[in-house]
Amino acid sequence: MKMKSKKTYSDRTDIEKLEANWTKTLGLHQREEFSMAIIRATTCAEIAANIAIRAELVEKRHLEGKFVDSLMSWANGLKGKFDRLLMPATEGSDVHAVLRKHKTEALTLNDKRNKIAHSGQFAVHKTAQEMLLLAHSLCTGIAKAYGKNITLKKPIERA
């Protein structure tokens, strides 16, 4: 019996990348690798931002995908994607208020990630739990705002 080959990461859609990264995030959290779980959760949030950016600029405005990819690289990170691309692109639209709510979550996640990645800070369970819940809200909220179907398990709370 021939086994079905797995898609390479670069051949996956943003939604598939998000779901795979979220599974990895939950695994890190379960193994009590709290700092890495927060870094990975922030990566998930950035992929969710990519989904929104592509929906706004490629699907709605019909810009070339390569050009949008270059804009996302220029925007540099989660904060930049919100400040430089998403918020200006959605100004005056129904989705803008949803994104404004999620921008607060994004900034909180980004700040915690930077403290871990750039200052060597360690995270404890409570902090990781809070950040993963924020990331879950952000990722599912953005996907829902753009009519994208994603499945992300909520992080399991420990006693």
Q: Give pLDDT, residue 158.
A: 60
Q: pLDDT band at 3, cuts 50/70/90?
A: low
Q: Give pLDDT, residue 129.
A: 96
Task: Calculate mean pLDDT across residues 28-32.
Answer: 96
User: pLDDT for 35-74, tens place per residue?
Assistant: 999 999 999 999 999 999 999 999 999 999 999 999 999 9
Q: pLDDT band at 6, cuts 50/70/90?
A: confident
Please provide the average confidence, as pLDDT, over all residues in the chain: 94
Q: Which two tokens stand for residue 67?
A: 């050009």
Q: Is the pLDDT of residue 81 over 60?
A: yes
Task: Calculate mean pLDDT across residues 92-121.
Answer: 95
Q: Is the pLDDT of residue 4 over 80?
A: no
Using alpha carbons, select from 98, 93, 85, 91 the residue that is nearest to residue 58.
85
Cα–Cα distances in angstroms (integers) from residue 53 to residues 2, 4, 33, 94, 115, in the given order: 38, 32, 30, 15, 26
Give pTM, 2 decimals: 0.92
Question: Which residues neighbour 144 within 8 Å (Cβ) at sequence distance 6 or greater?
Answer: none
Q: Give pLDDT, residue 2.
A: 55
Query: Domain ranges in the chain?
Result: 14-145
Reported CATH class of domain 14-145: mainly alpha
Q: Give pLDDT, residue 138.
A: 96
Q: Give pLDDT, residue 125.
A: 95
Q: Give pLDDT, residue 156.
A: 76
Q: pLDDT band at 115, cuts 50/70/90?
A: very high
Task: Calculate mean pLDDT across residues 111-126.
Answer: 96
Name the residue with tokens 């709510």: 101
